[in-house]
Amino acid sequence: MRVVIDESFDNLMLDKEIKSMVSQIAHCYSYNRQSFHPVKLYCTSFGDKTKAEFDRKMSDYQRWRRNEIIFEPQSYEEVFANEKENLVYLTADSPNTIDTFDESKIYIIGGIVDKNRYKNLTLEKAKKQNITTARLPINKYIKMSSRKVLTVNHMFKIILNYLDTNDWEKSLLDILPARKFNQDKNSTSEDENLKNKDNENVDNNTIEESISVVSTEEISTTTENNNESDTKES
């Protein structure tokens, strides 16, 4: 299955939000490498501020495995020009609830850390492009008092979890922060600030930690490959 992180929103993000976005992408790459059912992950419209931050903090990202992540300067409409009918934009604002994933479809996640400044941004973009939209079935499985807007790495990990387990409830409960299950419907301030807090948590997972996660896996893979080579030589 193919999943796209739409990186076309650089001009709408602050510098600290760009840093958070880079960290989230690094975590997505790490999750994909660990998954039993990895997807083909694309970062489209990759350039400008996000690319500059990758170049500055994760210069080895160009050596990341292309079968697990592809950094693509073109938009998803250009990359998948012959498959537009298969594009599905995942957005919490969509009226359509997804029940399962279709291997032939290409699922898009909006690559933006916006602190709730831009309402319906990805939904409106998809509408203008005549692209199908869908949202995760959170309401079906979990009673939540807050808005169901997730960070990019949360969204991506839930997708991978579902592909591994075929169980929405387990996939959602494993990823969503415990505070999202607050049943106090009078907690309107929490509802409004929920995504901000999630983004702050991702900010706390610093870029340096993301580098460490990816680098450790790369070292492990290199060691395994070297061991295989030694075995073949002997």
Q: Which of the residues are catalytic?
A: 114
Phi/psi for 48 (5° steps) reads: 55, -130
Report yes or no: 46 and 71 within 8 Å, Cβ to Cβ. yes
- 108: β partners: 4, 89
Beta carbons within 8 Å of 180's beta carbon, 6+ residues apart: 142, 144, 146, 194
Spatial distance between the Cα atoms of 205 and 23, rounded to a whole number of angstroms: 7
| Exposed e or buried b per residue across 164-192, where buried means at least 16 C-beta atoms within 10 angstroms of its C-beta | eeeebeebbeebbeeebeeeeeeeeebbe
**For residue 39, what are its two tokens?**
């997807």
Spatial distance between the Cα atoms of 152 and 234, rounded to a whole number of angstroms: 46
- Beta strands in the chain, from DSSP E residues, in sequence order: 2-6, 40-44, 70-71, 87-90, 106-110, 132-134
